[in-house]
Structures are given as structure tokens and as C-alpha cells.
Amino acid sequence: MIPIKNERQIARMREACAIAADVLQELRALVRPGISTQDLEEAGRDAIAKRGAKSACYGYQVGSRRYPAHTCISVNEEVVHGIPSFRRILRDGDVVAIDVVVSYNGVVGDNAATYAVGTVSPKIQQLLAVTEQSLRLAIEQARVGNRILDISQAVQRHVEANGFSVVRDMVGHGVGLAMHEEPQIPNFGREVRDRILPGMTLAIEPMVNLGGYRTKILADGWTVVTADGAASAHFEHTVLTTEAGPEILTRPTTSLFPLHAA
């Protein structure tokens, strides 16, 4: 069953999502050559705590494994679920994806973005731009009466038209009362028959690779990397579906940066 949020739950979702967006924005301001991913993790942990929230990632359990960090920080060929480390130092030309998921007042807000570290190649710049554009196009399809498939196809068409590939082993998802809810939201044209109804809260998250779409999981049991070692990008918003159209919930309360180009 896909949870439909009532007005009270939606109000709480707006608060949780604003916190997640504010924390992500704080971490974006710290991205630079020479900083470690653990430095970003500790800043994220503290930023979440000072807002009275908790990380929904920390201790998240799959089988016997528990995720050991408060944020997911993935560099270059790491697609998602990268574990922060003092040994992973950001270098000029890297890309870093930061995924912040917070629990606040009984609900969850989820967002992510990928940032250039220093000066990156034109091809990497295009990868970031196309991935973010695909998210905007996907959100436009999150309209009452559409299907989840419409969201999926919007991502795949834009990404593949620009010569990149869509990750198929991980998908977006419902979010709110838990970090992972129904429906699954693939970023490729796999048939998902669910119709979009008012009151859904969806984590829409294109994951796009510079090379092929295949991935593998490292020995740590969490970090997903591209099988061919090519760079990857990941952008994500939590979106509320309404009769008036999709509403992005993960918007920061203050803007430290210009809005990304659509």
C-alpha cells in the first residue's frame, strides 16, 4: 500500500524536509579540495543534531549490517551509500554526492545532490547538469493522474538522449512515515502501474553514470560503485503530490547559493 499523507503529516513533512535541505546546503558550503568525507560527515551530524533532528541513515539495518554514518557521501565512481572516512580526501576534479536523510517529529525528509570539487572536466560538468535536469523533468511528471512510469521515463529519455546511462539496481521510493515506503520509482522505463494520487510523498532520485549502467557493491557491504569505474551523479528531492501540481518539500529555509539551472 502507498501511504497517503494527511494534512497533519504533510505539515510535519515540510518541517523535516526543510531541515534535510538546510543541512545539505550547509555541507555544500564546505565542499572543497583537501577536506575529508569524514569532515563532511561530522559537520552533517552536528547540523542535524542542532536542529533537534536525527539521522535516518545512522544505524539503518539491512540484514545483519547497520549503516555506520549519519550521512552518505559518495565520491567519483561511488554511486550511493558511500561511507565517510578520514582517508578519503576530496581532490580538485572530483565529484561528491551528499545524501542527507533526517527523522524529525515522527517523519522523514530525504534529499541529495552532487557537487564539483574545484575544477572538473566539461564532460563531468555535463553529467551533473543532465542529472539535475532529469530530476526537474521527473518532478514535472509527478502529477495527480499520471503514472509512476511517467516519472521513470522522463529521467531515462533525457539521460540517454545526452549519452549517459541510468542506474538500474537502485530506485527512488516513497518516503515519510519511514525512510523507504511504496511505491518504488525506477529511473528507467520499468512498468510501475501505480497512479499518482494527492498526498503521496515521493523521493525522486536519478542516479546517472558517465559510462555503463552496471554497478557493484564494495566489500564494506554498503558502497555502490559503477562497475566500469566511471563517475556517477545523484540528485534527489522529496516531492508532495497535490491537485495543484508537484511541490518540492526539500527546499532550504535560507538560500546560500543561487538556484540550480533547471
Say if 257 falls within a structural domain.
Answer: no
Asked whether the whole model's pTM tops 0.85, one would answer yes
Say if 32 falls within a structural domain.
Answer: yes
Say if 170 falls within a structural domain.
Answer: yes
Q: In what order do the strands lie in the sheet with 247-248?
A: 181-185, 172-174, 201-204, 237-240, 247-248
Say if 258 falls within a structural domain.
Answer: no
Q: Stretch 251-258: mean pLDDT, rounded? A: 76
pLDDT of residue 68 exceeding 60: yes
Q: Stretch 45-69: mean pLDDT, rounded? A: 97
CB neighbour list of residue 217: distance below 8 Å, 6 or more residues apart:
223, 224, 225
Say if 146 falls within a structural domain.
Answer: yes
pLDDT of residue 259 exceeding 90: no
Backbone phi and psi for residue 139, each to the nearest 5 degrees, phi listed first: -60, -40
pLDDT of residue 189: 84
SS3 133: helix
pLDDT of residue 258: 55
pLDDT of residue 21 exceeding 80: yes
Beta strands in the chain (DSSP E): 54-55, 61-62, 65-66, 72-75, 78-80, 95-104, 107-116, 165-166, 172-174, 181-185, 201-204, 207-209, 215-217, 224-226, 232-234, 237-240, 247-248
pLDDT of residue 257: 57
Q: How many domains does the chain have?
A: 1
Say if 169 falls within a structural domain.
Answer: yes
Q: Stretch 68-88: mean pLDDT, rounded? A: 98
Write out pLDDT tens, residues 139-156: 999 999 999 999 999 999
pLDDT of residue 54: 98
pLDDT of residue 56: 98
pLDDT of residue 254 exceeding 50: yes
SS3 64: coil
pLDDT of residue 44 exceeding 70: yes
Looking at the chain, the whole-number percentage of residues with pLDDT higher than 70 is 96
Domain that holds residue 17: 7-248
Q: Among 118, 117, 112, which residue's Cα sits nearest to residue 44?
A: 112
Looking at the chain, the whole-number percentage of residues with pLDDT higher than 90 is 94
pLDDT of residue 7 exceeding 90: yes
Say if 260 falls within a structural domain.
Answer: no
Q: Stretch 76-94: mean pLDDT, rounded? A: 98
Q: Stretch 161-175: mean pLDDT, rounded? A: 98
Calpha distance 262→110 (Å, rounded)? 20
In this structure, what CATH number is given to the domain that contains residue 225?
3.90.230.10
Q: Stretch 17-45: mean pLDDT, rounded? A: 98
Contact status, residue 129 vs residue 163, Cβ threshold 8 Å: no
Beta carbons within 10 angstroms of residue 156's beta carbon:
21
Say if 58 falls within a structural domain.
Answer: yes
